[in-house]
Amino acid sequence: MLLVGLSGGIGSGKSTVSRRLAALGAVVVDADRVAREVVEPGTPALAEIAARFGTHLVAADGTLDRPALGAVVFGDEGARKQLEAITHPRITERTRELVAAAPDDAVVVHDIPLLVELDRTGDYALTVIVDVPAEVRLRRLVELRGMEEAAARARIAAQADDARRRAAADVLLPNAGSIQELQTRVERLWHERLVPFEANLRRGRTARRSEVLAVVDHDPAWAAQADRLRARLRHALGGAAVRVDHVGSTAVPGLPAKDVVDLQVVVPSLEVLDDAHVVGRLGRVGFLAPREGWDHGPGPDVDRLPKRLWGSGDPGRVVHVHGRAADGPGWRLALLMRDWLRADAQARADYLHLKQSLVAAGLTTSDYAEAKEPWFARAFPRAQEWAARTGWRPT
């Protein structure tokens, strides 16, 4: 099963995307529909709302007068929190039931308007945002929905702004054009990313780059991608992770690299990553099961350092995750090399020269990592001298 979070600002066309994904075969869990379901006539939540905010909010037919309730809580943070305390636990439980009922091979799309505002991106294997500039959404709300401009502006202002929403997105679906253009983008997303992602997870298959080695210019977007992936790992591992870091070449601004994001998870012991419950939680956010691996040691006294290796099933973002034990030296070395390369221009130049020579030699992607190890063996003492001179400590 692949769990996808879908969101977008009011007036973005998120419902259109949701309907198209359902038509293509997704199991859609609509947060607004669930929110209405838990306050239907006769439900405990509706009774609690009436007791707390007034029986006048229940219409003669027993239904909740939602506009009247909105007028009570809009702009009143205390009232809003009291309402959320009544409804949110029930919404969460019902959502879990609907997700659990989906088939094992389903692409489950959680259509949730406040995904970004609630900081929920770490809950999903992929976050899809329908992207429309605020001024375009304002015009749609006024012209197509008949809202007063002041009311529409207030609704937009109450949500996350465009920049925050875009930063949370693994996939941006622009929707300032026609419905046909949007549907074409949705269909491409479904066939090229969502369906293969789900199949990879179900078959235990990690997304990989081509064996044709390519080193590309540094992409500033790598840092934001790493942040979203780190959030998923922290969500899945909870207190089992001592820390989760972006490491490797993509974590060094200005340094060309393979388009693969490397992350490091530090755990009290590697056995934590072998636990079936941990493996299940990793799978829910798009990662495969960790397997045994090792690092080259920092010197002749330590030949190999055990670790765990795993990756994502997402064909749109290849990621390598290195699990290292907190009581071993491996995690500190990874952070040291990253920070040294960030700080030392000559070290970056030397490393880039190595990368370029290996590409020129025609190495495959698989051979590339091993071919770099002699350079790292020589670089470790330089990095350690830098650490001693600067007083470096992992941060």
- Residue 307 annotated in ligand binding: no
**Strands annotated E in the chain:** 2-8, 27-30, 107-111, 126-131, 171-174, 243-247, 261-267, 291-299, 302-311, 319-325
How far apart are the C-alpha atoms of 374 and 391, rounded to whole Å?
26
Helix (H, G, I), strand (E, B) or coil at 8: strand
Q: Is 11 annotated as a binding residue?
A: yes
Q: Is 95 annotated as a binding residue?
A: no
Q: Is 15 annotated as a binding residue?
A: yes
Helix (H, G, I), strand (E, B) or coil at 107: strand
- Known binding residue 12? Answer is yes
- The burial class, CB within 10 Å (0-12 / 13-18 / 19+), for 326 is middle
Tokens 């769990």, residue located: 3
Is 7 labeled as ligand-binding? no
Helices (H) and strands (E) in the chain, counts: 16, 10
Q: Which of 201, 12, 230, 203 is nearest to 107 (CA)?
A: 201
The answer for residues whose C-beta is within 8 angstroms of residue 362's C-beta and 6 or more apart is 213
Cite the beta strand spans of 123-204 per DSSP E: 126-131, 171-174
User: Residue 214 to residues 55, 256, 295: CA-CA distances in angstroms?
Assistant: 66, 10, 23
Query: What's the burial of 249, exposed, middle or buried (CB within 10 Å: 0-12/13-18/19+)?
Result: buried
Secondary structure (DSSP) of 254-284: T--B-S-EEEEEEES-GGGGG-HHHHHHHHH
Residues in binding site for ATP: 11-16
Residues in binding site: 11-16
